[in-house]
Amino acid sequence: MHLRQLIQPTGDWLDAPSPRRVAQVAGAAVAGLAIYGFTVGFWRDPLMGIYVAIKMPLLVALTLACNGLLNGLLGLLLGTGLGFRQSLLALLTAFALAAVILGSLAPVTFFLAWNAPPPDAPGAANAHAAYLVAHTVLIGFAGITANIHLHRMLAAKAPTRAAATATLLAWLGGNGFLGAQFSWILRPFFGTPTLKVEFLRPEPMSGNFYQAVWHSLGTISGGFPVPALVIALLLLAAPILHAIQTKHPKP
Amino acid sequence: MTTPETASPAQAPPLEAPLPETLDLKTLFEALLRRPQALVVRLAESNHGATGRFALMTLLSMLLFGFVLGCFAKHEQLWAAPAKVTAGLIFAGLICFPSLYIFATLAGARVTISQLAACLAGALALAGLLLLGFAPAVWIFAESTDSLGFMGTLAIGAWIIAITFAFKFLKSVIDSTGGTQKSPMIIWSSVFLLVTLQMTTSLRPILGRSDHLLTQEKKFFLQHWGDTIGTSLKPQTQNVPAPENSRETPPTNEGRNPFLEN
């Protein structure tokens, strides 16, 4: 498999979800995420880099494994005509594309980590904040691109554009919902300078991502978490919906 | 290389062959997901044997989903929650079936009682399969949170999504058997949904724990949800300060910020 096939899949890409193809795409996703993950954790500590290189592919694998049945059922019920293995290949391809994008940026992010003030330096807090923002922007870009890509693949297979959009949104909702909780369980990824380097925080299964975010939204919005949540969701959804509307108009 | 934009549009599916003589579990599973119309036609014939298999699928999937819900409180709920969830759904199906036949007929469908029974069993089996799809995610949260409100919302959300697809299947049954009116099935679907939601209160506790297996106190489900949404499975520690501007009981992990532990 060439990278070009992954980035520019043909219309029949999902027709042959052979174990070999699935394994190749999974391999690309693991490689990209591992390389990028290493650069994410490297700033805190090289050991942290190794941990994150393991945890990033693990995050995707756990999400897809736990939601595999649901994704397959939704793909069939929402009318794309995709079977279970085709759904898995479509989602893996999207994750692999995001991984390839992030992996290709890994030299840049490694350079960023290399040049940032060390975690024990006086300006570490600011460096940490800037580091977080930079990676959030990159991951956001890769995620949005991958979802647009996924919609393109679905639209090529689905009988109607509405079916492709509904399936994309259902998958996005389901995987995003569970993936966020897995990211909570598998934390830390960036490595807060004041906390020690470890693979998982103590009692990783204790706690819930959404309750913590809800509390944070309440704090930063002065007790009005609902408007803050609506604004955050609109900011996340707007670029995806805009891209779907403009890049894939109705035939 | 052809890019997806230039790829030919999806071709219309070929004419469907009838379902095989023997409707085993795999065939029924495939038919529910891929060929609901062909399944409805097949269920009109006698000796399909699908009703029992659909009931079995429903039973097993609800027992498993109930077990996942029971993992939230553990202890006696590991067996009580699956029993209550399964019994509640069967009871709801039984008491709503007479009205389903009447409302389907009102909608214009020409369907026999046995065919409709098989279709209802199929719809519930489909909902059960979807709940099985949600089960791993629900289990992750059952092991991670103590908030009854969060778990209740998650479980009810999964149920509403699952039953929506079941209603969609029943709608295709009505449409493919000559039904022309939409409103009778919309009303029946609302009634069935309300009955199942009331079951969450009538059979309480399903998520939390109690000294009694069932309670005799009568309550409307919205009132029960309102009473329990802010509560936690574990007693709150006294040294955790309550957030300002909040009247609800704080969740157990409210002091933890994902953006400070990254």
Which residues on A lie below 8 Å from B128 (Cβ)?
A: none
Residue A245 pLDDT > 70, yes or no? no
In a domain, A89, yes or no: yes
A100 contacts A35 by C-beta, under 8 angstroms? no
Phi-psi region of B234 (alpha: psi -120 to 50; beta: other; left: phi over 0): beta
Domain that holds residue A90: 3-207
Label residues B121-137 b or e (16+ Cβ within 10 Å = b).
Answer: bbbbbbbbbbbbbbbbb
| End-to-end CA separation in angstroms for chain B | 43
pLDDT at position A52 is: 95
Arithmetic mean of pLDDT over chain B: 82
pTM over 0.80: no
In a domain, A152, yes or no: yes
pLDDT tens track for B46-55:
777 889 999 9
B141 vs A contacts (CB less than 8 Å): 181, 208
Residue A250 lies in a domain: no
Q: Do A207 and B144 touch (CB under 8 A)?
A: yes
The predicted structure's pLDDT at residue A240: 67
Give me the pLDDT at residue B171, please. 93
Across the interface, do B258 and A191 touch by the CB < 8 Å criterion?
no
Domain count along chain A: 1
- The reply to whether residue A215 touches residue B254, judged by beta carbons under 8 angstroms, is yes
Nearest-CB residue to B9 (from A174, A213, A251): A251
Q: What are the phi and psi torsion angles at A238 (to 5°)?
A: -55, -50
Q: According to the model, what pLDDT value does residue B2 have?
A: 40
**Candidate ranges A103-112, A240-249, B207-216; pick with highest mean pLDDT:** A103-112
Output the pLDDT for position B81: 93
Dist. CA B42–CA B103, nearest whole Å? 22
State how far the Cα of B53 lies from the Cα of B40, in Å rounded to an integer. 15
Nearest chain B residue to A65, by CA: B136
Residue A216 lies in a domain: no
In a domain, residue A251? The reply is no
Tokens of A140: 């956001």
**pLDDT tens digits, A67-125:** 999 999 999 999 888 989 999 999 999 999 999 999 999 998 898 888 888 888 877 77
A115 found inside a domain: yes
CB contact under 8 A, A215 and B250: yes
pLDDT of B198 strictly over 50? yes
pLDDT tens-digit readout, B129-171: 999 999 999 999 999 888 898 999 999 999 999 999 999 999 9
B123: which 2 tokens? 């719809």
Residue A236 within any structural domain of the chain: no
Whether B253 has a pLDDT exceeding 80, the answer reads no
Q: What pLDDT, in 10s, does the model give residues A42-52? A: 988 899 999 99
Task: Please report whether residue A58 resides in a domain.
Answer: yes
Question: Is the predicted pLDDT of residue A224 greater than 70, yes or no?
Answer: yes
pLDDT above 70 covers a percentage of chain B that reads: 83
Q: Are A49 and A169 in contact (CB under 8 A)?
A: no
The model's pLDDT over B221-249, given as tens digits with 9 standing for 90+, comes to 888 888 888 888 776 554 444 444 433 34
